[in-house]
Amino acid sequence: MTYKTTILAALLAATALTGAQAADPIKIGVVTPLSGTYAGIGQQVRWGLELATKEVNASGGIAGRQVELIFEDEEANPAVAVQKADKLFQVNKVDFLTGTVNSGSTLAVGQVAERAGKLIATTVSFADSITTDKCSPNVFRVNARAGQQSSALAVWLSKEKPQANVFYLGPDYEMGRSTVAAFKSAAEKVGAKSTGEVFAPLDSKDYTQYFGQLRSARPQVLYTSVAGNDTVRLLTQMQEFGLLGNLTVVGASGTVTAQNLPAIGKAAEGFVTGVGYSAQIDTPENKKFVQAFQAATKSDPDLYGADSYGLIYAYKAAVEKAGDTETDKVRKAFEGLKWLTPQGEKTLRAGDHQAIQTMYVVRVTGGKFMTVGQVSGDDAIGPDACPRF
């Protein structure tokens, strides 16, 4: 008898509780690589999102509703990402989805979202196609795309070294060729002269065979988009041959990173690149963010962590403006949205769903990335090339 009453009381209490909770939590699905090659990027995405969610929940949630993150591992494989996104939309009934890292996954998941009538945002993928020729009304990008990085760098270059002679050295595969082509057209637009280009196979052991060509072209600037250990070999071999003396080396944002910088050592000194975020940005918002991030994770935030952190605040602003999590209303609220992030104010352009933000130019000085300049968002963004809406 007493047993029965306890159960009854518990049931009553439970119903009372659900009644008291005014609204269900807002669910955000995160499809991101948690295993494999890109697990490091996925980790930053996770930290950034979790930190922002904790802050938002502590200050009352989004429109009074708490935020819940649901993670799924996409293994950096679009086929897996699509399956996981389908699950989050259909089974977990998430309101919004983010986290995809490689561009193929973002494009494929964007299509899943379109068919499910939901919205997604990427905080990492930088292929231009996502917000240009393959844009989707259901996909937003809050991080800087490749074009923004290269135009920021080109604008900085035209100020520091006007009319410079530039030589290009890229890795010989599709992505390498397209990054070189993108920077070349951006640089030529602001007055640089191209003196030649060469493509080396991925994983080249010996770059010295290209040095003759490089020398005879007499460039003042070398642009390269090699990455990882290829950068280590290229720059150290150039240093051994004494080629770094009168040459400014600039490159893609993935060319010299915190991961390969120690291995390159002194040869990386003076390397310049354009990025959307640097932990050195000297604003009170960023200092507060870096401190909170370090306290929560014991590591420094990078580009991916900062962009993912900013996304939660963008979604909060959009949902509160829309008054609802309904797709069409949130899409309208996102379009033209201005919100504050550690990188300063960002604007989501209505025409192609690409975020416009201040870009930073960083140079390796004393083994560290130091900010040497910034380019305003409007100078770096380029025209709206989305044909679909």
Give least dist CB 111 to other proteins, A: 5
Which CB sits closer to other proteins, 30 or 164? 30
**Which residues neighbour 265 within 8 Å (Cβ) at sequence distance 6 or greater?**
236, 367
225 binds other proteins (CB under 8 A): no
**Which residues neighbour 137 within 8 Å (Cβ) at sequence distance 6 or greater?**
114, 331, 353, 388, 389
**Sites for other proteins among residues 23-42 (CB under 8 A):** 34-35, 39
Distance separating alpha carbons of residues 180 and 183, to the nearest angstrom: 5
**Sites for other proteins among residues 105-164 (CB under 8 A):** 107-108, 110-112, 115, 127, 129, 134
Contact 184, 239 (CB under 8 A): no
**Of 66, 83, 208, 347, the one binding other proteins by CB under 8 A:** 83
Distance separating alpha carbons of residues 220 and 192, to the nearest angstrom: 10
Choose among 251, 128, 147, 242: nearest CA to 189.
Answer: 147
54 binds other proteins (CB under 8 A): no
79 binds other proteins (CB under 8 A): yes
Enter the tokens of residue 337.
């949205």
Give least dist CB 220 to other proteins, A: 31
Which CB sits closer to other proteins, 79 or 370? 79
- Could you identify the residue written with the tokens 């909770």? 21
**Of 16, 17, 91, 295, the one binding other proteins by CB under 8 A:** 91
Give least dist CB 12 to other proteins, A: 30
Choose among 145, 129, 90: nearest CA to 112.
Answer: 90
Give least dist CB 236 to other proteins, A: 27
- DSSP secondary structure string for all residues of 201-237: -TT-S--GGGHHHHHHT--SEEEE---THHHHHHHHH
DSSP state of 163: T
Give least dist CB 174 to other proteins, A: 4
Which CB sits closer to other proteins, 110 or 274? 110
Contact 256, 250 (CB under 8 A): no
87 binds other proteins (CB under 8 A): yes
Give least dist CB 184 to other proteins, A: 17
Which CB sits closer to other proteins, 134 or 141? 134
Run of H or E residues at 308 = helix 303-322
11 binds other proteins (CB under 8 A): no
C-alpha distances in Å from residue 220, one per residue of 180, 338, 361, 370: 17, 39, 18, 22
185 binds other proteins (CB under 8 A): no
331 torsion bin: left (phi>0), alpha (psi -120 to 50), beta (else): alpha
DSSP state of 29: E
Distance separating alpha carbons of residues 179 and 251, to the nearest angstrom: 10
How many positions of this chain bind other proteins (CB under 8 A)? 32
**Of 68, 161, 175, 332, the one binding other proteins by CB under 8 A:** 175
Give least dist CB 162 to other proteins, A: 33
Which CB sits closer to other proteins, 75 or 307? 75
Enter the tokens of residue 41.
């990027």
**Of 44, 100, 103, 237, the one binding other proteins by CB under 8 A:** 103
211 binds other proteins (CB under 8 A): no
Q: For binding to other proteins (CB under 8 A), which residues are involved? A: 34-35, 39, 72-73, 77-80, 82-84, 86-87, 89-91, 102-104, 107-108, 110-112, 115, 127, 129, 134, 173-175
